[in-house]
Structure 1
Amino acid sequence: MHHKNAGPYITCGASVAGTRHIRDQIPCEDAWGGVILPGALILAVADGLSSAEHGGKGAAIAISSGINTAADLLRTEQDPDIAFIIREAVREGREYIKACARSEGTDISSYATTLLMAVLTPDKVVCGHIGDGACVILSDGKASLLSVPGQTEFVNETAVLTQTNWESHLRITSGRGDAILCATDGCQGALMRREEGAYIPYEPFIVPLVRSLKQYCIENRDLNAELADLLVSSRMRALSSDDMTLAVGFSLPGELV
């Protein structure tokens, strides 16, 4: 799938297996997706839990059904309530997972996955987030964190879409920006650092990356392949042995389109 250019918006992304999965010959259990609509862009990432038998499948279903639902609602609503649309898209993603579990005769918990979905419009960026991972927005070259990993009671535990009280773990945040970056926990460390107990965006990674992607776009390079190359680089591998997903959406200056 090449990057899509339908107007001023671009989406791109990549999911790569972590070194631990490569060693154990387990396929990548992360997923990402992006859709461009007139005047809006939808981006989502999901991390299927390694401890769940069908975590990777859960991530893939949550992304495809969630993004399709959000796109349908955004197309049909005249003055869309984006927070409501994201909530409905996340709910629909879970319903699809539930239906899949039922047809396979397994429990929904075996499809455990995180989910982060963001919608970028000229007015604002809205993000819905369950579990770990991170979402950063860029506005005039200045980065800010829109959503950070969710708080849980226990270390190494993350909230997932498949749990019964998923709605209480769905965090909706909004801001303004012209670019969004969404990462699963395998590469959230590239987007942010922890200083004095608080997360801050890591601009030396974020700003040059978006600038490069915009340039590659003008050069007609495959942005998904460029991101995949970045994720398998030794610099990124040093961050985590986990699967890595990074998805980026941005608007280009009008005259380039």
Structure 2
Amino acid sequence: MIIAGASVQGTAHLADGQGCQDAFKAVDLGDTAVLAVSDGASSRDRSALGAHIAVDTACRLLTEDIPDTEETPEAWTRWIAGRGKRVVEEYLRAVAGVLGTGTGAGTGAGSEDPGALAATIAAAVVRPPWVALISLGDGFGTLLTDDDHCHLVLPPPTTPPPFLSSPGAAQRIRTFVVWEPELSGLVLSTDGCAALTLDHPSVRRLPPEAGPLPADRFFLGLAATLRENHGDAEPLRRRLSGPEAGRTGDDLTVLCALVEGR
């Protein structure tokens, strides 16, 4: 696998003296990659820590007991559903430890609401031809195939996103699997990247209800560059720091895994 990622502080955060509240982490298992990106709630001072807890938790749990490539779709679906619920539980347990609440409920005297570390999560296991994903919040994921096509398999939500610390998060987390024999890569992004990486459907002469579409120029160009330079993320960082990306004002994070030899 070729794995590369970058986070860039948003221009609005820079102007306000606010640090980057995104986080990402990847684990290279040889023929398998585990990816996670998280966006801390900008209104919460400690959300950057929450984002790091989120990606650490997701990567740890998603490296355990990964199904074999020959397993059935049902086996993969059961596995990722169980992982998704555990990510929420383990995140809340870790946050409770940070806050000293013991339960993460934030109900005791002098306790602090776990929402102080509010963060989203978008994470995936890439084991060709399988991709297993979990998501809570506004991150999104794009799948690349051998025929140079991009597929928005994890679209951003159309309603205000919940966080891992939101009530009922374990029931609201999304989990699903994709089987794609021509899989060549997967890219996870935080919502600050939407203007840079997603096209309005009118670009392809589609009606608005078709929803956002992955920008081929970004994803295919990124994949080609990373294959040529063997995963050096500096060109990605420069792209996320450019004027086109800066107009969002938000932090930007992109993390990808490309299947070698494609």
Structure-2-length-normalised TM-score: 0.82
Q: % of aligned pairs identical?
A: 24
CA displacement, residues 10-68 of structure 1 (integer Å, 9 cap, x when unaligned): 21101111011111111111011111114311111110101223211111001012101
Task: Name which one, 1 or 2, has greater alpha-carbon Rg.
Answer: 2
Shift of 1:92: 3.8
Alignment match, 1:27: 19
Shift of 1:114: 0.9
Shift of 1:245: 0.3
Change (3 A) 1:248 1:39: same
Q: What residue ranges of structure 2 are gaps of 5+ in the alignment? A: 101-111, 202-207
Q: In terms of mean alpha carbon deviation, does 192-201 or 167-176 score higher?
A: 167-176
1:232 matches 2:238: no
Alignment match, 2:91: 97
Residue identity matched to 2:229: Y
Alignment match, 1:203: 216
Rounded to whole Å, the distance in 2 between the matches of 1:247 and 1:22 is 22
Residue identity matched to 1:226: P
Of 50, 60, 63, the match for 1:58: 50
Shift of 1:252: 1.1
CA displacement, residues 201-245 of structure 1 (integer Å, 9 cap, x when unaligned): 21111111111110011xxxx62333222211112213x100100
Change (3 A) 1:167 1:180: same
Q: Is the 8 A contact 1:160 1:166 kept in 2?
A: yes
1:89-238 mapped onto 2 (5 Å cutoff) = 89-103=83-97, 104-105=99-100, 106-140=112-146, 141-152=148-159, 157-175=160-178, 176=180, 177-195=183-201, 196-197=208-209, 198-217=211-230, 223-238=232-247
CA-based RMSD: 2.3
- What SS does the aligned partner of 2:191 have? coil
Q: Is the 8 A contact 1:20 1:241 kept in 2?
A: yes
Q: In terms of mean alpha carbon deviation, does 110-119 or 33-42 score higher?
A: 33-42
Shift of 1:107: 1.7
Residue identity matched to 2:113: D
Alignment match, 2:249: 241
Q: Is the 8 A contact 2:187 2:257 kept in 1?
A: yes
Q: Is the 8 A contact 1:150 1:159 kept in 2?
A: no
Q: What residue ranges of structure 1 are gaps of 5+ in the alignment? A: 1-8
CA displacement, residues 165-192 of structure 1 (integer Å, 9 cap, x when unaligned): 1133222233322111110000023222
- What SS does the aligned partner of 1:186 have? helix
Residue identity matched to 1:109: G
Rounded to whole Å, the distance in 1 between the matches of 2:255 and 2:150 is 16
Rounded to whole Å, the distance in 2 between the matches of 1:77 and 1:162 is 33
Count matched residues. Answer: 237
Change (3 A) 1:27 1:93: farther
- What SS does the aligned partner of 2:151 have? strand
CA displacement, residues 135-173 of structure 1 (integer Å, 9 cap, x when unaligned): 000101111111011232xxxx32111112113322223
- What SS does the aligned partner of 2:229 have? helix
Change (3 A) 1:123 1:78: closer
